Structure 1
């Protein structure tokens, strides 16, 4: 069965598109192509590609299996028709339960649903935003519930006086309107609060390095993998580093980089080990030099040049790097999304903080330093990791209690055995020989004479 797919523009071909999507007839499909390029600059390329990968199966399904009144649904149909198709896809392809509620739908994942339901809905919402912005979709966004926003707005602006607007809060005559973000999604995923994954295997990086060795990773892939585990950065934040990013820090173990949503502005830094510094410089001055058109070493490179190059001498992209990562994981049968290296880093840093800090004040200070380093927008994110360590602390304390109980039980049983031995091995002869101890075998002989 043919599917929607995408290909990058070949080297040497001039095109305004760096990526082109093809439909299931192998014809260029511009709506998805335009959406991808509209996303670039608004979100990072890895996120734009992630959206693309969520949308391709839906558009394949739309062409082959969708049905509305006996006809296939087209992407540019009216919002009502598009919503019916999406609802069918959620239920039949993603094993979700969809429940009607006034002007929108509640979506519940089941144990058969993939983890990408939320991302799929976000991607589709983004797709129609782009096509409306580009004036290629003439209707309202099917993924937006305009009625809910209007009704919520009315509820929060109508005052207690009949047919009068809400008074300003400084008037003190009525309760202030609640300040909360109004959700505008037509499909509302419920019970889907994001939780970071906790990865506690301290040997995980070394398993990945061995997988890379088995898959014949070049030094470039080794350096990137080490940076991911040692810095807690997102893959794109490492892959898109420039020579200037590395030079901009006073320490050789650091590099400046962008953050999610910073629009390429360098707002944070990464710190890595001395061993990785050695490998990085070895890569730049030897392996990278081979693919640089001017065969330049580190000192001769301009700040704007990328740290990591392809074998064609072009800047390394996330998809090109992921190909090598994915090969290594498959080779060693490891199921590991690159983003999990970030969760591993946070888990490991927190473990180190709890194990080495001497006071509660020191723990809190070092946690705040970690939050600033990792650049979390929501500081409450760390609470989920802390909950993990609370559970780990309980497990350790509980294990200690169980070990103590087992030891006490052993001591008790040994004590009981000793009592029985004393009773069976010490006998007192009646008569004038009260203090004489008799051996077990002699006692048996005496008992047999009775």
Structure 2
């Protein structure tokens, strides 16, 4: 079965495209190709490629199975037709439940749905945004619910007086509006709030290093893996580092890098161990030097040179790197998405903060430092991780209580056995209580009644 696919343009071919998408007949498919290149600059290359990969199955399905009034749906059809096709795809191919609601649709994942539903919807919305921007799609974006935005706008601007605008909040005559980000998606995924992965295995990095050793990782892959675990950076923030990023920091254990959404601007830094510094310099002056076209070492490399190279001497890409990561994980049967190294880092740092801090003020200060280092846009994100530690603390306390209960139960049973073995010391005298010898336990009961 022929599918849509993509490939990178060979270095020997001159083209304005670095990546080309092909249709089922192996012909260049320019809409997706243009979309990929339009995304670059707004989002990282790895994110742009992720969008393309999410959309390839949809366009394959569109060619083979889409149907509207007996005709195959084309990507440039009107918004209503595109929406019907997407709804069919969500239900038939992604096992989702789609429910009509006013001017939009609610989408519910089922246990058979893949984890990529949200990414697919985001990618398709981005696709049409690009094609409208490039003047190749003549309608409004099918993935946007313009009516919802209009109605929300009206509800936040119309006052209680008929045909009059809202009074300012200082007037105190009208209820304040709730300021929130407008959800403009036509397909709204419900019950899909993002939760970070909480990874608590303190030995995870060493398991990964051993997996790499088993498949003979090069020094490059070893350094990158160590940087991911030690810095909490995203993969792209590591593999796209330049020599200048490393030189620009005062400390030899640090490097500047960009952040998600910073459009390549270096807005944060990474910090790593001295052992990783040694391996990094060894890589630059040996393995990297061998593949560098001019055989340059660290001292002779220009600032703009990328630190990590392929064996062809070109800058390392996410796809080229991921091949080696995936090979190691499969060889050792470790199910680990590389982005989880970032969650492992945050979990480990928070555990250290709680274990080493002596006051609540110290904990708060260190958490603020971590939030600034990670460069979270939403400072509330850390609360999800804290919830994990609250639960972990409860588990420990609860386990202690259960152990104590088990111990007390055992002591009770042993004491009961001893009492059963003990012969009672009783003398029964009718109608005369003088001189009666009473069992010790009964005597204690009598004493307590006085």
Structure 1 residues 3-402: aligned runs within 5 Å = 3-402=3-402
Consecutive unaligned residues of structure 2, counting only runs of 5 or more, are: 426-450
Secondary structure at 1:105 match in 2: strand
| Conserved 8 A contact 1:259-1:266 | yes
Deviations 1:86-114 (A, max 9, x none): 00011111111100011110111111111
Match of 1:444 in 2: none
Match of 2:448 in 1: none
Secondary structure at 2:299 match in 1: helix
Secondary structure at 2:6 match in 1: strand
Matches of 2:202 and 2:36, distance apart in 1: 37
Deviations 1:387-419 (A, max 9, x none): 111110010001111111112222223333444
Report the more deviating stretch, 280-289 or 176-185.
176-185
| Conserved 8 A contact 1:106-1:190 | yes
Matches of 1:412 and 1:305, distance apart in 2: 73
Matches of 2:223 and 2:259, distance apart in 1: 20
Match of 1:436 in 2: none
In the TM superposition, residue 175 of structure 1 has moved relative to its aligned partner by: 3.4
Matches of 1:383 and 1:421, distance apart in 2: 57
- The 3 A distance-change label for structure 1 pair 412 and 173 is closer
Q: TM-score scaled to structure 1, two decimals?
A: 0.92
Report the more deviating stretch, 30-39 or 200-209.
200-209
Match of 1:437 in 2: none
Secondary structure at 1:84 match in 2: helix
Matches of 2:109 and 2:329, distance apart in 1: 28
Matches of 2:49 and 2:376, distance apart in 1: 23
Matches of 1:343 and 1:63, distance apart in 2: 39
Secondary structure at 2:416 match in 1: helix
CA RMSD after TM alignment: 1.7
Q: TM-score scaled to structure 2, two decimals?
A: 0.92
In the TM superposition, residue 361 of structure 1 has moved relative to its aligned partner by: 1.4
Matches of 1:249 and 1:126, distance apart in 2: 36
Match of 1:442 in 2: none
Report the more deviating stretch, 72-81 or 324-333.
324-333
Consecutive unaligned residues of structure 1, counting only runs of 5 or more, are: 427-450
Matches of 2:317 and 2:97, distance apart in 1: 37
In the TM superposition, residue 420 of structure 1 has moved relative to its aligned partner by: 4.5
Match of 1:406 in 2: 406
- Aligned positions, number: 427
- The 3 A distance-change label for structure 1 pair 421 and 177 is closer
In the TM superposition, residue 217 of structure 1 has moved relative to its aligned partner by: 1.0
Matches of 2:64 and 2:327, distance apart in 1: 31
Structure 1 residues 420-435: aligned runs within 5 Å = 420=420, 423=423
| Conserved 8 A contact 1:157-1:177 | no
| Conserved 8 A contact 1:35-1:130 | yes
Matches of 1:131 and 1:207, distance apart in 2: 44
